[in-house]
Amino acid sequence: MKKKEKIILYILIAIALMFFMSWFTEKIIFDDYSSHREQLEINKAKLEVMEQENSGKYICSYNYYDCEDFSSKAEAQAMFEKCGGTKNDIHYLDGDDDGIACELLS
């Protein structure tokens, strides 16, 4: 091989190696970023739930409670009404839509 052909070959190999290294590095960085981002969102949601529970507020934006989460029918009914009653039974605590939550609780 001539000297000029060797130089071109080395340059092509160097370019190929740089391309592979940049692709591999980007894949590692962005894959790792995505998994961290997902975990951050999960942790934010958990923190929101804990803050609401500690502040005495009920979670009314998504299905979070079951009848087993309440110690009495009165407690379940209070949360049910605070979250909007039959208009917003997000937790499905009133199975027959009569306005009474967790009827089987005592």
Q: Give the pLDDT of residue 44.
A: 80
Say what the pTM is: 0.48
More reliable by pLDDT, 104 or 42: 104
Handedness of CA 70, 79, 81, 62 (dihedral sign): negative
What was the pLDDT predicted at 4? 85
Which SS3 state, helix, strand or coil, does residue 98 take?
Answer: coil
DSSP category for residue 93: -
Residue 98 confidence (pLDDT) above 90 = yes
61 pLDDT band (50/70/90 cuts)? confident
- pLDDT higher than 80, residue 24: no
The enclosing H or E element of 63 equals none
